[in-house]
Amino acid sequence: MNNRLKVLRAERDMTQADLAMALQVSRQTINAIEKGKFDPSLPLAFKIARLFELAIEEIFFEN
């Protein structure tokens, strides 16, 4: 699954560590999601969507 987490994070001037902190996960998890190596669970995807005030489909999309 692809995502535009990196772009959204950059737009808000957030580091991976900032985002990890806001989502209560490790920085490694943010990095793996951004690189498409790891797909987050639905609860975490909702948490990300809420943080960026977007719908899940606006952040994550199929290849």
Contacts with another protein, residue ranges (CB under 8 A): 20-22, 24-26, 28-29, 31-32, 37-38, 40-41, 44
CB of 11 to another protein, least distance (A): 17
Q: Quote the CA–CA distance of 25 and 63 in Å, as a whole number.
A: 25
- Give the Å distances, CA to CA, from 59 to 16, 29, 40: 16, 16, 12
The least distance separating another protein from the CB of residue 6, rounded to whole angstroms, comes to 16
Nearer Cβ to another protein, position 8 or 29? Answer: 29
Q: How many CA atoms lie within 13 A of 55 on its CB side?
A: 3
Q: Which is nearer to another protein, 8 or 14 (CB)?
A: 14
